[in-house]
Structure 1
Amino acid sequence: MSAELSPIDKAKFVAARRAADFVEDGMRVGLGTGSTAAWLVRCLGEMVRENGLRIRGVPTSSRTASLARDEGIEVITLDEARWLDITIDGADEFDGALNLIKGGGGALLQEKIVATASDRMVVIADAAKEVAHLGAFPLPVEVVPFGWRTTEALVAEALESMDVMGRETALRMNGTEPYVTDEGNYILDLRLGRIGNARQLALVLNQMPGVVENGLFIDICDTVVVGHGDGRLELRDINAGTVTEDRVDFADNENLFRDLGE
């Protein structure tokens, strides 16, 4: 089955497989949303079923919650957990300081709440997600539906004074209707090209009435696990200032791939 995976999927898998090693018995674990995070949930499910790992997972979306239950992971709410030992999630972009853009999957609000309620946040990503400057990926901004056009106009006005390359805004759609988040909100995607001062932009956006949260994750991520299609990976720890290399052998994970093919 591993031979049928694309190089990108292999890179996502090896990052997820290695990040799963950070999870220890008895932990309360934040479970991210998206294609890379889905690999992590599958890896943890295998460890629960085959190794007897006992964890409680706090999903960041209804999609992740459904997958976690299917994998045999005990699912609880953040209110029940109160605080988490670790959150493992993907990212749409990350820079050299491990600042992120997240929200391509539409779960940025819950993702940020869960990540900041954790002792440690680990991001899993393929190498293509690394950028010199954030902004090539459209920045998601979650807004309340009431008066969203006014909120969009306020955001566009604020961008005029921001250090960004582009200033196009668009309402995210789901077919012919606006995309609706798990919290019942809309998402504006800001096509900025390059963000000169991500910290300032995050603060300005969140001061606007109608804006619920933005997809800039500043000083939240502790570790990034970067996967490559040939099984190589890098672990970058922002707190320790270290970069270490490792490798995941696809042959050691035949059971997981077999499960995906059934």
Structure 2
Amino acid sequence: MNQQDTLKQLVGQTAANLVEDGMIVGLGTGSTVRFMVDALGKRVQEEGLNITGVTTSNRTTEQATGLGIKIVDLDDVNHVDLTIDGADEVAPNFFGIKGGGGALLWEKIVNDASSHNVWIVDQSKMVNQIGNFGVPVEVIPFGATKVFAKFEQKGYQPQWRLNEDGTHYRTDEENYIIDLKMGLIEDPLALAEDLIHTVGVVEHGLFLNRVNQVIVGGDQGVSTLNVPK
């Protein structure tokens, strides 16, 4: 295991220890979250931890159920106590970008339904200003080229997310993703408003004012950053 994976495993195990018996837990998507779900599954098997999970992707559902974690649909619960998810970039003001794994729509829906949101990242994801990763935007296939053209006109530097065979990447909702490669974002709030009001856009990967804690794995170990209330 390389150093980055070791850090991801450390933060995943730390986050899994936040889960308490009887909780309804949102389980995110991504490489760091995989370690967390593994650690959570171990607690379920070894400690008899009784939890209910809500997932943000079919991939996480498959992993969690294979580990004995009970998974239900979000609409089958009236709240989510805690959601643990990853992030692609996190700035000091706790603005983040998510969606590198293609699950941004479900991730934002579960985030919105959760009383407490925790992001788990390795130190490479901490940045001074968000944007260099790019902004994933989920769009419906119908008329998607028109949306792409609008983004080009606005200078957002759009790129189709493609599979290895050159076909369009499809989300769990069978939508396309356009990645905006516009560099550092001076006004994320304004960009978020523009994107969500673009006809054909389902959701975007700007997660602004949506996290309570960030657990970071670094060279000096694991640290927890608490967002000011």
Query: The TM-score by the shorter chain falls in which range?
Result: over 0.9
Cross-structure match for 2:152: 156
Structure 1 alignment gaps of length 5 or more: 161-166, 241-262
Cross-structure match for 1:179: 169
Q: Could you state the TM-score of these two structures normalised by the residue count of structure 2?
A: 0.97
Structure 2 matches for 1:97-246, cutoff 5 A? Answer: 97-157=93-153, 159-160=154-155, 167-174=156-163, 175-228=165-218, 232-239=221-228
Runs of 4+ residues over 3 Å off in structure 1: none
Describe the SS at the equivalent of 1:173: coil
Cα RMSD (Å): 1.1
Structure 2 matches for 1:38-117, cutoff 5 A? Answer: 38-117=34-113
Give the Cα–Cα distance (whole angstroms) in 1 for the partners of residues 150 and 182 of structure 2.
16
Give the Cα–Cα distance (whole angstroms) in 1 for the partners of residues 223 and 22 of structure 2.
26
Q: Could you state the TM-score of these two structures normalised by the residue count of structure 1?
A: 0.85
Identity of aligned pairs, percent? 44
Count of aligned positions? 228
Q: Deviations over 1:93-125 (max 9, x none)?
A: 000011110000000000000011000100000
Describe the SS at the equivalent of 2:17: helix
Residues 10 and 228 of structure 1 are in contact (CA less than 8 Å); yes or no, is this contact kept in structure 2? no
Describe the SS at the equivalent of 1:23: coil
Q: Deviations over 1:117-156 (max 9, x none)?
A: 0001000000010111100102100000001010111223
Bigger CA radius of gyration: 1
Residues 78 and 114 of structure 1 are in contact (CA less than 8 Å); yes or no, is this contact kept in structure 2? yes
Describe the SS at the equivalent of 1:83: coil
Describe the SS at the equivalent of 1:43: helix
Structure 2 alignment gaps of length 5 or more: none
Residues 145 and 186 of structure 1 are in contact (CA less than 8 Å); yes or no, is this contact kept in structure 2? yes
What residue identity is the alignment partner of 2:124?
Answer: A
> Offset of 1:193 from its aligned partner?
1.2
Residues 90 and 130 of structure 2 are in contact (CA less than 8 Å); yes or no, is this contact kept in structure 1? yes
The alignment status of 1:24 with 2:20, answered yes or no, reads yes
Give the Cα–Cα distance (whole angstroms) in 2 for the partners of residues 229 and 105 of structure 1.
25
Describe the SS at the equivalent of 2:225: strand
